[in-house]
Structures are given as structure tokens and as C-alpha cells.
């Protein structure tokens, strides 16, 4: 607590890709949103390890971060 009320911190999660089939996930926390976005982007670029084959990732992927879990599941292509 500070004199004016509560002190807020912002958490941002960012997913980045290199348009060649590799994606990365990063999370950042700061007092201001732009700083949190910058930190998350830097961490996502360092963690480029998910591979996507064609338009789909090859298998089920479960990522864990703190109390959250992210589940990526391959989807079937649409037939028209």
C-alpha cells in the first residue's frame, strides 16, 4: 500500500514466431504495461522452442507456468 492506494503491477504474456515454424512464449511483469510487454517479448524470443509443422504443431503440448497450464492440441484441417 502507498499513500494514494494500492500499488499495481501488470503481467503480460506474449507469443512470438519467426514465420518459419518456431514459436516462443514469454511472460513479463512490471509497474507499467510497456515495460511488461518489452520484458515478455525478450523472454519469448529467448524461449523459441515450439516447432510447428505446416500449419499445425506435431503433437499435444502442455506448458506450465506458475499456477497456469497451456494446452496446445493439433486441430484437424477443414474440408470444404
60 Cβ partners below 8 Å, 6+ apart?
Answer: 71, 72, 73, 74
Query: What pLDDT, on a 0 to 100 scale, did the predictor assign at position 24?
Result: 86
Query: What pLDDT, on a 0 to 100 scale, did the predictor assign at position 48?
Result: 84
Residue-wise pLDDT for 1-44, tens only, equals 567 778 889 999 888 888 777 888 899 999 999 999 999 999 99
Query: What pLDDT, on a 0 to 100 scale, did the predictor assign at position 16?
Result: 85
Q: How many residues are recorded in the chain? A: 80
Query: What pLDDT, on a 0 to 100 scale, did the predictor assign at position 42?
Result: 93
Query: What pLDDT, on a 0 to 100 scale, did the predictor assign at position 79?
Result: 59
Reported as a pLDDT band with limits 50, 70 and 90, residue 55 is low
For residues 31 and 76, give the distance between their C-alpha atoms in angstroms, rounded to a whole number: 41
Amino acid at each position: 500500500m502507498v499513500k494514494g492506494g494500492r500499488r499495481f503491477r501488470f503481467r503480460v504474456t506474449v507469443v512470438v514466431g519467426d514465420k518459419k515454424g518456431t514459436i516462443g512464449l514469454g511472460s513479463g511483469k512490471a509497474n507499467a504495461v510497456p515495460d511488461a510487454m518489452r520484458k515478455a517479448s525478450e523472454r519469448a524470443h529467448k524461449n523459441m522452442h515450439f516447432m510447428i509443422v505446416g500449419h499445425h504443431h506435431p503433437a499435444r503440448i502442455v506448458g506450465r507456468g506458475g499456477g497456469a497450464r497451456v494446452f496446445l492440441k493439433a486441430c484437424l484441417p477443414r474440408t470444404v
